[in-house]
Amino acid sequence: MKRLAGLSALALIITSTSGCGWLWGEDGYFRDRGGDYLAARQTAPMQLPANVEAKRLDPLLPVPQQVASSTVTGEYEVPRPQALQARADASEFSLQKSGESRWLVAQRVPAEVWPVVRQFFEDSGFRVVDERPQTGEFSTSWQRFDELSSAVARRLSKLESGVADAETRVRVRIEPGVQRNTSEVFVVSAERPVGSSADVAFASRSGNPKLEAALLDEMLVSLARSAEQGGSVSLLAARDFDAPRRVSLSEDGNGNPVLNLGADFDRAWSGVGRSLEMADVRIDDLNRSLGVYYINLAEGAIKKGEEPSFLGKLFGGERDKEEIEARADRYQVRLTPVGDSVQVTVEKDLNTVAPSDVARRILDLIQENLG
């Protein structure tokens, strides 16, 4: 401890001494090096032996010519960097590519993408003959290219020769994207000669990569234009998208009501959440990984813009919170995947099932607003 105190005192003496230019002065060890770059000079590139082959290396941080100059002397003001330009044309739709596979990515949930993608194909002259909103798929009938809209037919006519002697059909699939609240749109085609009655199956990945790429390009332009013009989303179609194929209310072995949904977990989760909101049931919290909606039957659904203002939170927030807690009637709506379907049950808490009459009332509300 004494040694440390001695060293501290010695350092204080050295730094307070006037004759310590070697430490802090222009040529000192701790001098300011902020302007050293002004005196930097460019050196000749490294020369390699003649028998050595090397890949060209460009400088990672090249010095702009308008900043560094061998003729500049004295004071020099470094120009300020230009501000980054925000992309005003950034769209919520984009194309992705991996090898020959291409697909469209939308910054929207599948329930919103479904109606606009389907509308694009109808506007392009395709006849939709089979659609399954619950799985996010629809297919078109066999058609010649000259039966399609002029814009799409003109685009497809630029493909390989021989398309005039073929007819095609497409299958479109819309899936939840990797990122939250995004969607991915895939298009697969099948072709056969004109006049043929062969039932050509869709390929697992791609039937005609160039044809599918052209359709995706046209779809991208159409959807981006629709978004710029404020295109609306069909709420009815969105409702149909996450509606299960089958919905039935039954009882488990203990007599507790169970709602069975013929859908995968993603669409069942979306459908139940939408149904609770349409039934004016407040969702206090949710945990998608556990498949649980935490609801409060004593309050109505939270509407957009319902959040109190800053002053409201400051002066009345605690009082309102106490009143809500005093009359709260909370339950948990749990979704459990079982094979190809999902079972919905109601619990009071993690270890207690809800009373049968309450559970049935909640499940009835969900069922009424699902279809």
The pLDDT tens digits of the residues spanning 77-109 come to 666 655 544 444 456 888 888 777 888 998 887
pLDDT at 234: 47
Are residues 170 and 283 located together in one domain of the fold?
A: no
- Of the residues 193, 214, 237, which one is the last residue of a structural domain? 237
Are residues 192 and 264 located together in one domain of the fold?
A: no
Q: Is the pLDDT of residue 121 over 70?
A: yes
Q: How confident is the model at residue 17 (pLDDT cuts 50, 70, 90)?
A: low
pLDDT at 166: 79
- Whose tokens are 């969607």? That residue is 183
Distances 114 to 68, 109, 110, 245, 335 between C-alpha atoms, Å: 56, 9, 6, 16, 24
Other Cβ atoms within 10 Å of 105 Cβ, number: 19
Residue 290 maps to a domain: yes
Are residues 100 and 224 located together in one domain of the fold?
A: yes
Q: Is the pLDDT of residue 292 over 70?
A: yes
Q: 135-149 b/e with 16+ CB inside 10 Å = b?
A: ebbbbbebeebeebe
- Of the residues 217, 237, 257, which one is the last residue of a structural domain? 237
- Of the residues 210, 237, 264, which one is the last residue of a structural domain? 237
pLDDT > 70 fraction of the chain, expressed in percent and rounded:
67
Residue 23 maps to a domain: no
Residue 138 maps to a domain: yes
- Whose tokens are 């509407």? That residue is 303
Residue 252 maps to a domain: yes
In terms of pLDDT, which residue wins out, 127 or 288?
127
Residue 86 maps to a domain: no
pLDDT tens by residue, 142-198: 888 778 887 777 777 666 544 557 788 899 998 877 776 788 899 998 888 877 777
Are residues 175 and 255 located together in one domain of the fold?
A: no
Q: What does the block give as tokens for 216? A: 């995706």
Positive or negative torsion for Cα 250, 251, 257, 261 = negative
Q: What does the block give as tokens for 191? A: 């072709």
Q: Is the pLDDT of residue 344 over 60?
A: yes
By the 8 A CB rule, do 104 and 219 touch? Answer: yes
Q: Is the pLDDT of residue 235 over 50?
A: no
Bridge partners (DSSP) listed for residue 339: none
Q: Is the pLDDT of residue 362 over 80?
A: yes
- % helix, strand, coil for the chain, step of 5: 35, 25, 45
The pTM assigned to this predicted structure is 0.46
In terms of pLDDT, which residue wins out, 266 or 215?
215
**Distance (Å, rounded) from C-alpha 138 to C-alpha 46?**
62
Share the mean pLDDT of the chain.
76
Are residues 253 and 135 located together in one domain of the fold?
A: no
pLDDT at 331: 93
Distances 204 to 128, 189, 216 between C-alpha atoms, Å: 20, 10, 18
Question: CATH code at 364?
Answer: 3.30.310.170
pLDDT at 56: 65
Are residues 271 and 220 located together in one domain of the fold?
A: no
Are residues 206 and 274 located together in one domain of the fold?
A: no
- What domain count does the chain have? 2
Are residues 139 and 191 located together in one domain of the fold?
A: yes
Choose from 17-26, 30-39, 86-95 the range with maximum mean pLDDT: 30-39
CA-CA-CA-CA dihedral for 185, 191, 196, 201, to nearest 10: -60
Residue 336 belongs to what domain range?
Answer: 242-368
